[in-house]
């Protein structure tokens, strides 16, 4: 070893990406990862499918086990919670799950403390049968609860991506699902005016979607959850999932005196450096630049976590080896995609309200198209919506909904956002055509052509 030591706090996507990259860049650097949980480097996005029973074992979600990282020269210590960072002394302290205190010095530190599930402050939130889904331990607990065969009715609080993916998972396990939301929207921004087929799909599978209600209390019976009571009704439940969002895990950074950004997450530059010498941060605990507005945002996404972790690791490895790292984070478009039963919903960039809040004079265009040539067997409807700046004609955001053909098209729009393309430029793209894959004028080209005419 070189005598230099890098410590990483957090062993999920960002943390393990950082650790692996450090060792690639400087094989002589000592790398230690502290993870307070039982698992590292697992596919968190696969948990709904594990809960549904489509993935047999929790271990199938693991990319690598701690002993496999050890073979790569990375010291992974699970069950070790870091409680304090002494930035000036370059020391971290903490406690193991067995209750043993520990203290370690560092030359370089990466905080990859992730995010935590938002838990509403309401009576009954700590009852047996009330779950969140953030860690693999959470996923295992939820799967075990279902495997016992005693859950017939579930209430999911929150209609975002986790809420919808778990609604499908629970339905597949034979559970009657009630989905509660304070708004009329699915996935945060899919309203009935655009995404009525998605609402119909939920109903078709027996999901009771209740809107504009706020939870007041979770009722108890015999020591466990019995019902969710809102300001307008009562919903019986054997299981409750709180899917009300994610907040950045910044307690350690705040206590160490690191600067937080306007989003409440850790402020970093495009190299993942914090404002404190020797400390970087990555993953769901940081804010990053939005490619459309240029403003810092907290958008916890898997690719962003992995990518920012790799950049932080590259920077640390290069610093240790006396090299210069060229890696930078170019920004996020907030590109999201979710499977909801037989439909796929995707979004990238800004919605119309978000664009207007950001100061754009924006216009929105919605259109129903088809996934294949109209005469080709099996063609399905496809709904698209784009947001465009009236002044520059630049694309600001897009949404797509359909049974097929969604993922590739949302990626085209995401690419256009990164290249700051106008609808005129997107219209000129030479996109692939064959009847089984789309009309001769792809829906992307078609809706941009309409925007060109109407702006």
Domain-by-domain residue ranges, the chain? 5-116+247-321, 130-244, 342-454
Question: Mean pLDDT over all residues of the chain?
Answer: 96
Mean pLDDT computed over 266-286: 98
Examine the pLDDT at 1 and tell me if it is beyond 60.
no
Predicted pLDDT of residue 220:
94
Predicted pLDDT of residue 67:
83
**Which pLDDT tens digit goes with each residue over 162-204?**
999 999 999 999 999 999 999 999 999 999 999 999 999 999 9
Catalytic position from the list 45, 262, 285, 448: 45
**Domain 130-244 top-level CATH class:** alpha beta
The crossing angle, in degrees rounded to 10, of helices 302-321 and 13-25 is: 30
**Which pLDDT tens digit goes with each residue over 56-87?**
999 999 988 888 888 899 999 999 999 999 99
Cβ-Cβ contacts under 8 Å for 111 (sequence gap 6 or more): 9, 10, 85, 252, 253, 258, 266, 274, 279, 280, 281, 282, 285
In Å, how far are 138, 194, 304, 422 from 439, measured between CA atoms?
Answer: 44, 21, 33, 22
The C-alpha angle with vertex 303 and arms to 19 and 444, in degrees rounded to 5, equals 160
171 in active site? no
**Which pLDDT tens digit goes with each residue over 78-119?**
999 999 999 999 999 999 999 999 999 999 999 999 999 999
* CATH H-level, domain 5-116+247-321: superfamily: FAD/NAD(P)-binding domain (3.50.50.60)
Residue 158 backbone phi and psi in degrees, to 5: 120, 130
Examine the pLDDT at 380 and tell me if it is beyond 90.
yes
**Which pLDDT tens digit goes with each residue over 243-255?**
999 999 999 999 9
Domain 5-116+247-321 and domain 130-244 have a common topology: yes
**Which pLDDT tens digit goes with each residue over 123-153?**
999 999 999 999 999 999 999 999 999 999 9
Examine the pLDDT at 227 and tell me if it is beyond 60.
yes
In this prediction the pTM is 0.94
What CATH architecture applies to the domain 342-454? 2-Layer Sandwich (3.30)
**Which pLDDT tens digit goes with each residue over 301-338?**
999 999 999 999 999 999 999 999 999 999 999 999 99
Predicted pLDDT of residue 66:
80
Q: In this structure, are residues 116 and 138 in contact, taking their beta carbons and an 8 Å threshold?
A: no
Rounded Cα distance between 105 and 5, Å, is: 8
The crossing angle, in degrees rounded to 10, of helices 443-454 and 407-418 is: 50
Predicted pLDDT of residue 2:
56
Predicted pLDDT of residue 266:
98
Count the Cβ atoms, other than its own, within 10 Å of residue 142. Answer: 24
């Amino acid at each position: 070893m070189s005598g230099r030591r890098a410590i990483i706090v957090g062993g999920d996507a960002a943390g393990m990406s950082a650790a692996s990259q450090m060792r690639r860049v400087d094989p002589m650097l000592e790398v230690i990862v502290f993870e307070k949980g039982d698992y590292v480097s697992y596919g968190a996005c696969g948990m709904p499918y594990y809960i549904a029973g489509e993935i047999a074992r929790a271990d199938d979600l693991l990319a690598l086990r701690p002993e496999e990282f050890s073979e790569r020269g990375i010291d992974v210590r699970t069950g070790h919670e870091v409680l304090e960072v002494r930035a000036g002394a370059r020391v971290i302290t903490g406690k193991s799950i067995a209750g043993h205190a520990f203290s370690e010095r560092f030359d370089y530190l990466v905080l990859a403390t992730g995010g935590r599930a938002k838990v509403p402050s309401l009576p009954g939130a700590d009852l047996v049968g009330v779950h969140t889904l953030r860690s693999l331990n959470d996923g295992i607990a939820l799967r075990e609860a279902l495997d016992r065969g005693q859950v017939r009715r579930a209430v999911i609080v929150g209609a975002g991506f986790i809420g919808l993916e778990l609604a499908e998972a629970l339905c597949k396990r034979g559970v009657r699902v009630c989905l509660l939301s304070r708004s009329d929207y699915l996935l945060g921004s899919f309203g009935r005016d655009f995404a009525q087929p998605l609402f119909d799909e939920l109903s078709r599978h027996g999901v009771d979607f209740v809107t504009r209600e706020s939870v007041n209390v979770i009722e108890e019976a015999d020591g466990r959850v019995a019902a969710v009571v809102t300001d307008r009704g009562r919903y019986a439940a054997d299981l409750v999932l709180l899917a009300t969002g994610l907040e950045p895990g910044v307690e350690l950074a705040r206590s160490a005196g690191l600067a937080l950004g306007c989003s409440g997450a850790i402020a970093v530059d495009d190299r993942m450096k914090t404002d404190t010498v020797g400390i970087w941060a990555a993953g769901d605990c940081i804010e990053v630049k939005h490619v459309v507005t240029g403003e810092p945002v907290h958008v916890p996404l898997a690719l962003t976590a992995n990518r920012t972790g790799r950049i932080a690791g590259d920077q640390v490895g290069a610093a240790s080896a006396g090299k210069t790292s060229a890696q930078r984070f170019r920004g996020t478009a907030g590109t999201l995609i979710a499977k909801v039963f037989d439909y796929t919903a995707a979004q990238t960039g800004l919605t119309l309200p978000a664009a207007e809040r950001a100061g754009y004079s924006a216009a929105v265009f919605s259109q129903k198209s088809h996934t294949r040539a109209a005469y080709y067997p099996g063609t399905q409807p496809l709904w698209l919506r784009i947001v465009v700046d009236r002044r520059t004609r630049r694309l600001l955001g897009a949404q797509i909904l359909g049974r097929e053909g969604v993922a590739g098209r949302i990626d085209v729009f995401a690419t256009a956002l990164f290249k700051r393309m106008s609808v005129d430029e997107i219209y000129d793209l030479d996109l692939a055509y064959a009847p089984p894959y789309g009309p001769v004028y792809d829906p992307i080209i078609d809706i941009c052509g309409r925007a060109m005419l109407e702006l």
